[in-house]
Structures are given as structure tokens and as C-alpha cells.
Amino acid sequence: MKPLLTFSEFLFESTKPTGTSVSCDYYSTKPPVPGKENFWANFEKMDGPARVEALKKIEAEITNSIRRVQKDLTNWYQDPQTRKKLNGTIEPISDEDLRAGKYPKEKVRRYIVNEILPNLKYLMVTKRQTDTPVPGAWGWYSSERPTTIVINLFNFWDGTNDGNKNLYDTLKHEATHLIDDAFGRFGLEPYNPTHSRDETPEEYDSRYVVGDKDSFARLNVFRGAIGARPLDDGAELLKKFMAEVAAGRITSKRVRFEQGTDSKGRPVLIMRPVTFTLNNTDIVGKEGGRNDAGPADRVLNLITKPGSLVVQGQENPNIKQLFSAYSSIGNGVITVRMYDLGQYNKTTAAIGNDNSTAAMSA
Ligand SMILES: [Zn+2]
């Protein structure tokens, strides 16, 4: 993949998509990394050669990360389990059947593997301007440019990529939006939608924590973090998550992660507060509330603070937000409905073709 612009061209580039399908990956609060606040101010003062050198280093890191994203997502979409989810069979699909329209999702799968992922490009925006779209985002995309990820470097990069923002996750999140968009262009959905694909910016914002597009993007980050497989159910996801906790790769200073079951025996993840308490009046969760951002926002508010959920040494807002959308509060703990998350994992790019009825329970 190549950057869209040369160094001198992208320095102060700002782009203006006209489509409405712009999405992003951001944290509700974005404190600068201590000691790194002046990176861009200093950057602006560098002379030409020093600045080009600095950008080369940044570009090398982005290139490495985007290659990993390409590889991981290509593997996922070539996985026999994914093919089974999409087509209902792992048998190779013949061109004849494809032309006859028997396997509509196979067309999208090939399009993603052959056209979207190999041609991923990125655009680095280094300076916030008055007309910068989604200025608060770390990254975003526009459906007008089906293979381009835009990175708002001015928000994101602190000069070392060891801060509290994960470049790889952001690139993967945005790449997943491009995949989601590809399904939409074929008139298909990679998940069972809970609201219209075409949203106003206001609708998008109001349901940001529970919205379909971002839940799908976050799910893919979560899958990668625990090594999930395309057909894993809730029990399997929980087992893999707890294995990462046991290995010390997923940590929290604010909650203790515990494996549990709900009253119906279904697998749940318990997040037991360590540095704060929840009383009985904090029972706000309700099942099936994915379009009601209220409870999800309250949970997120509790676990968004630094140290709440750290993967390989970095805050992981994608998983915090995903868990929040599937959580309830009660009995002094936060309970993540892994059985719902497992159902979501198993049915995204759902089994069956045009008339998929594999319903999500959330
Ligand atoms: Zn997003």
C-alpha cells in the first residue's frame, strides 16, 4: 500500500468528503500523553529535512501496522469458517453458481479479499483546520473512497506510538468500516442490523456506543485481541478472554475479571470493581438495549478511565466500548453478556444468504 500523497503534499492536507457515511474511532476523552503534548508544535518548527525524517519514521510505523491489518483481515475472510458463515458451505463456489447469484455474500467476500484489502491506502492529516471533517477522531473513512483510511495524526500521534492510543487498532477499526461499507454497496449486511445503515451525523453520535457500524468495527478488534475464531460462541470467547487475563496480556487496575454465568446458566464476564463501588441503585442495564445508549454510556463511564482495560500495555477503548454495549450493572458488579457477544460473533456475516434469519438476541 502507498500513501496517497507525497510528504510535502500531505503535510497540511485536509480533505472534504461529501458523503454522509463518514465514521470514526475516538475516545470520549482524549487527554494528551504526559510529556508528549508539544510534539506537533515542535514538529511545525522543524526545518524541512528534519521534518521529512520525522515523517519517514511515522510512515514506517503506519506501514508496518497496516500490513498487519491487511494480513489479519485477509486471513479472516479466507478462513473456511468465515466462508461457511457467508455461504453456508465451505465448499469452493463455482463461477457458474456465482453468476447465477446463488451465493451473493461470496461476491462480497472475493471483493474484500481481492479489491479492498490489497489496495488499502492511508492518508495522514497532520494539521487540524477549520474545515477538517470529524476533527475529534483518531481515524475515519468516507464511502466515496472505498479503500482509504484517513488518520488524524494531529490528534493521534505523540511522536513515539507508545502512548495511550493504539495505531494498529485504529487502522483495523477503520479497515473494518471499509469492509462493512463494501457489504452495503452490494446491498447486503455483515450483521443483523438494529438500525438503518444510512444515519444522520446526529443519529450516529447519539448511538455511538451501541451503533451497528462501530460495534462491528470493535468486534473485530476484540476478536484479534483474544484470538477468537469466526464461529466461537460466548463460552469460547469468555474462555479466550480469561486466558489472556491469566497470561497477563489483558489487565485492569480498576476491576477484577471473573468468569461467571447468569441465572439461566449462560456465560457472562463479571467485572468486579476494585477501586470504586456500585450500590444497588446502580442497576441500570437491560437486555436488548442496543439502541438505547443510556445504560451502555453509564457502563462506559465507569470503565473508560485509564487502567480499566489494558491490552498488551495499551488502553483498549474498542473493547471497553464493545463490552459497554453488552453490559448490565447490578449486585455491585458490571456483567458483560458474553452469550450475546458470542451470538454476535457467530452471526456476523451471518449463516445463510439473502434471507438470513439467524437472529441476534441483543
Ligand atoms: Zn468507527
SS (H, E, C) 120-188: CEEEEECCCCCCCCCCCCCEEEECCCCCEEEEEHHHHCCCCCCCCCCHHHHHHHHHHHHHHHHHHHCCC
Contact 197, 189 (CB under 8 A): yes
What percent of the chain has a predicted confidence (pLDDT) above 70? 74
Q: Is residue 200 part of a domain?
A: no
- What's the CA-to-centroid distance between 263 and ligand 1, angstroms? 33
How many Cβ atoms sit within 10 Å of the Cβ of residue 332?
A: 14
Question: Can you give the pLDDT at residue 8?
Answer: 35
Do 65 and 110 fall into the same domain? yes
pLDDT-based confidence at residue 277 (cuts at 50, 70, 90): confident
User: Is residue 42 located within the same domain as residue 186?
Assistant: yes
The 310-311 sheet, strands edge to edge: 250-251, 310-311, 314-315
Kindly state whether residues 252 and 282 are assigned to the same domain.
Answer: yes
- Tell me how far the alpha carbon of residue 320 lies from the centroid of ligand 1, in angstroms: 14
For residue 37, what pLDDT band results from cuts at 50, 70 and 90? low
48 contacts 68 by C-beta, under 8 angstroms: no
pLDDT at 215 over 60: yes
Compute the average pLDDT of residues 293-312. Answer: 85
Indicate whether 24 pLDDT > 60: no
- Looking at the structure, do residues 43 and 170 belong to the same domain, yes or no? yes
238 and 111 in one domain?
no
For 55-88, what is each residue's pLDDT tens digit? 777 788 888 899 999 999 999 999 999 999 999 9
Distance (Å) from CA 24 to ligand 1 centroid: 4
**Which of 155, 190, 225 is the C-terminal boundary of a domain?**
190
DSSP letter assigned to residue 34: T
342 and 302 in a single domain? The answer is yes
Residue 119 is classified by DSSP as G
The pLDDT tens digits of the residues spanning 107-124 come to 999 999 999 999 998 887
Q: What is the pLDDT of residue 163?
A: 47
Q: What separation in Å is there between the alpha carbon of 135 and the centre of ligand 1?
A: 14
Stretch 277-305: mean pLDDT: 66
69 within domain boundaries? yes
With cell 464493545, the residue in question is 322
What is the DSSP secondary-structure string of 316-330?
A: -HHHHHHHHHTEEEE
- What are 235's three cell numbers? 463460552
- Residues whose beta carbons lie less than 5 angstroms from ion ligand 1: 23, 25, 214, 217
Residues sharing a CB contact under 8 Å with residue 328, sequence separation 6 or more, in sequence order: 283, 284, 285, 286, 287, 295, 334, 335, 337
Q: Model confidence over 330-356: pLDDT tens digits?
A: 889 999 999 999 999 988 765 433 333
How many domains, in total, are found in the chain? 2
pLDDT at residue 158, as a whole number: 56
C-alpha cell at 353: 444468504
| pLDDT for position 132 | 66
Residue 91 has pLDDT above 50, yes or no: yes
* Cα 176 to the center of its chain, rounded Å: 7
> What integer pLDDT is reported at residue 294 of this predicted model?
72
Q: Show the domain range for 243.
A: 212-346
Of the candidates 342, 337, 4, the residue with the CA atom closest to the CA atom of residue 147 = 4
Strands 250-251 and 139-142, bridge-based pairing = unpaired
Cα–ligand 1 centroid distance for 176 (angstroms): 9
Please report whether residue 54 resides in a domain: yes
Asked if the structure places residue 311 within a domain, the reply is yes
Structural domain includes residue 203:
no
Q: Are residues 179 and 256 in the same domain?
A: no
Helices (H), 207-303: 212-226, 234-246, 293-303
Rounded Cα–Cα distance for residues 237 and 226 (Å): 8
Return the pLDDT at 229.
Answer: 95
- Measured in degrees and rounded to the nearest 5, phi and psi for residue 54 equal -60, -40
Is position 91 within any domain?
A: yes
- CB half-sphere exposure, 150, CA atoms < 13 A: 29
Model confidence at 3, in pLDDT bands (50, 70, 90)?
very low
Q: Could you tell me the distance, in angstroms and rounded to a whole number, from the CA of residue 161 to the centre of ligand 1?
A: 20
Residues 73 and 128 in one domain: yes
249 and 183 together in one domain: no
Q: Same domain for 11 and 72? A: yes
Model pLDDT, residue 156: 66
For residue 47, the CA-to-ligand 1 centroid distance in Å is 35
**pLDDT score recorded for residue 125:** 76
Question: 352 in a domain, yes or no?
Answer: no
- Where among 190, 225, 258 does a domain terminate? 190
- Pair 311, 250: CB distance under 8 Å: yes
Flag the least confident range among 143-157, 187-201, 202-216.
143-157
How far is ligand 1, taken at its centre, from the CA of residue 14, in Å? 19
Q: Which residue has the higher pLDDT, 52 or 176?
A: 176
Same domain, 165 and 254: no
Q: Are residues 245 and 155 in the same domain?
A: no
Q: How confident is the model over 321-330, as pLDDT tens digits?
A: 999 999 988 8
Which of the pair, 210 or 269, is modelled with greater confidence?
A: 269
Is residue 294 domain-resident? yes
